Amino acid sequence: MQRHLSRTDNLIHQFDTVLRTLQPQAVRPDRPSPATADILDEPMDERERRHAQGLMRINHTGEVCAQALYQGQGFTATLPQLRHRMDQAAREELDHLAWCEERLQELGGRPSQLNPLFYVASFGMGAAAGVIGDSLSLGFLAATEEQVGKHLDEHMRDLPQGDHRSRAVLKQIAIDEAHHAQLAREAGGSRFPTVVKWGMGKLAKVMTKSVYRL
- Helix (H), strand (E), coil (C) string for the chain: CCCCCCHHHHHHHHHHHHHHHHCCCCCCCCCCCCCCCCCCCCCCCHHHHHHHHHHHHHHHHHHHHHHHHHHHHHHHCCCHHHHHHHHHHHHHHHHHHHHHHHHHHHCCCCCCCCHHHHHHHHHHHHHHHHHHCHHHHHHHHHHHHHHHHHHHHHHHHHCCCCCHHHHHHHHHHHHHHHHHHHHHHHCCCCCCCHHHHHHHHHHHHHHHHHHCCC
Q: Does residue 177 contact residue 149 with C-beta atoms inside 8 Å? A: yes
Question: Is residue 110 situated within a structural domain?
Answer: yes
Rounded average pLDDT over 8-28: 60
Q: Any residues with CB less than 8 A from the CB of 152 and at least 6 apart, and which?
A: 59, 170, 173, 174, 177
Residue 107 has pLDDT above 90, yes or no: yes
Q: Could you tell me if residue 135 is inside a domain?
A: yes
The boundaries of the domain holding residue 83 are 52-208
Count of the separate structural domains present in the chain: 1
Above 90 in pLDDT, residue 119?
Answer: no
Q: What is the mean pLDDT of the segment spanning 69-90?
A: 67
In a domain, 1, yes or no: no
Specify if 145 maps to a domain: yes
User: Of the ranges 4-18, 72-86, 157-171, 173-187, which one carries the lowest mean pLDDT score?
Assistant: 4-18
Q: Does a structural domain hold residue 7?
A: no
Contacts of 30 (CB under 8 A, 6+ apart): 91, 94, 95
Is residue 76 over pLDDT 90?
no
Residue 11 belongs to some domain of the structure: no
pLDDT value, residue 139: 75
pLDDT at residue 46 above 90? yes
- 31 falls within a domain: no
